[in-house]
Amino acid sequence: MPAIDVGDITLHFEESGSGAPVLLIPGTAARGRTWWLHQVPALVDAGYRAITLDNRGVGRSGPARPGLTVADLVADTVAVIQRVAGGPCRLIGTSLGAYVVQEVLLARPDLADRAVLMASRARPDAVSLALAAAERAMADAGIVLPPGYDAVNRALQNLSPRTLEEPETAQDWLDILEMSPTDWADEGQRPQLEVTVDTDRREAYRTIRVPTLVLSFADDLIAPAVRGRELAAAIPGARYTRIADAGHYGYLEQPDAVNEAVLEFFADA
């Protein structure tokens, strides 16, 4: 797996295809490989060069340090754009990855041709703040949930009820989630819990001029569709699409609808 050094850490990435580069940034504690099941093949088939990144603290990238900020992750993303993509490119992010992309659009708009923001928001609310605080408290207390319970909890939080209605599909998801349990005891990952949307960024985002598509998932409990619509309303000229029958993991639950929306947006340049 190729890598670049950024400061005192190594960032690992993977790429496939040729043509215009597209950099995909995953969510909290997720590896870049999560994009390879559905989005990377679709992008490559459409003639793009897809680049996926393991954020610091995840996968093969160097550990995140205490005090991690979104500015650190923005700097990492900028380094990958400049040194791997070779210059301005299209950006896709989901959840934490979308937050990072949003801030790149402010800090270095010259490096973004177009941006897709999935499962994101422009401001916190009571539930999102409480969830973030609860996850930090649980990690700091050293609590490790049994893998089976962790899997059920994550399924209920991140998947659409429609997905869970199908017994075989639900069981497949539970098996996958149980085999990849949350590991906040990992000191390299724990700092990612500090990077959350904890202030209202709507006024700042009104200065974004990069063409942007906001994708919300109708059954998302973590970043509800109403917050995605707010985000789109804050960014001048942004498009907004709501994907049905999808939760926070919507890009994995409804990949055809997501890929169609992304590729249509990219093609309309």
Summarised one tens digit per residue, pLDDT across range 74-131 is 999 999 999 999 999 999 999 999 999 999 999 999 999 999 999 999 999 999 999 9
Residue 162 located in a structural domain: no
pLDDT (average), residues 12-38:
96
- Give me the chain's average pLDDT, please: 95
CATH number at residue 19: 3.40.50.1820
Q: How confident is the model at residue 183 (pLDDT cuts 50, 70, 90)?
A: confident
* Residue 1 reports pLDDT greater than 80: no
Residue 134 located in a structural domain: no
- Report, as residue numbers or ranges, the catalytic residues: 95, 220, 248
Summarised one tens digit per residue, pLDDT across range 138-170 is 999 988 899 999 999 999 999 999 999 999 999
Residue 117 located in a structural domain: yes
Q: How confident is the model at residue 212 (pLDDT cuts 50, 70, 90)?
A: very high
3-state secondary structure the chain: CCEEEECCEEEEEEEECCCCEEEEECCCCCCHHHHCCCHHHHHHHCCCEEEEECCCCCCCCCCCCCCCCHHHHHHHHHHHHHHHHCCCEEEEEECHHHHHHHHHHHHCHHHEEEEEEECCCCCCCHHHHHHHHHHHHHHHCCCCCCHHHHHHHHHHHHCCHHHHHCHHHHHHHHHHHHHCCCCCCCCCCHHHHHCCCCCCCHHHHCCCCCCEEEEEECCCCCCCHHHHHHHHHHCCCCEEEEECCCCCCHHHHCHHHHHHHHHHHHHCC
Lowest mean pLDDT among 21-30, 133-142, 178-187, 255-264: 178-187
pLDDT given for residue 184 in this prediction: 76
Residue 45 located in a structural domain: yes
pLDDT given for residue 181 in this prediction: 84
What are the φ/ψ torsions at residue 81 (nearest 5 degrees)?
A: -60, -45
Residue 149 located in a structural domain: no
Between CA 132 and CA 9 the distance in angstroms is: 26
pLDDT given for residue 251 in this prediction: 98
Summarised one tens digit per residue, pLDDT across range 6-20 is 988 999 999 999 999
Residue 102 located in a structural domain: yes
pLDDT (average), residues 211-233:
98
* Residue 186 reports pLDDT greater than 80: no
The number of folded domains in the chain is 1
| Domain that includes residue 85, residue range | 3-124+199-267
Residue 163 located in a structural domain: no
Q: What is the dihedral of CA 126, 131, 134, 140, to 10 degrees?
A: -130
pLDDT given for residue 187 in this prediction: 75
Summarised one tens digit per residue, pLDDT across range 37-61 is 999 999 999 999 999 999 999 989 9
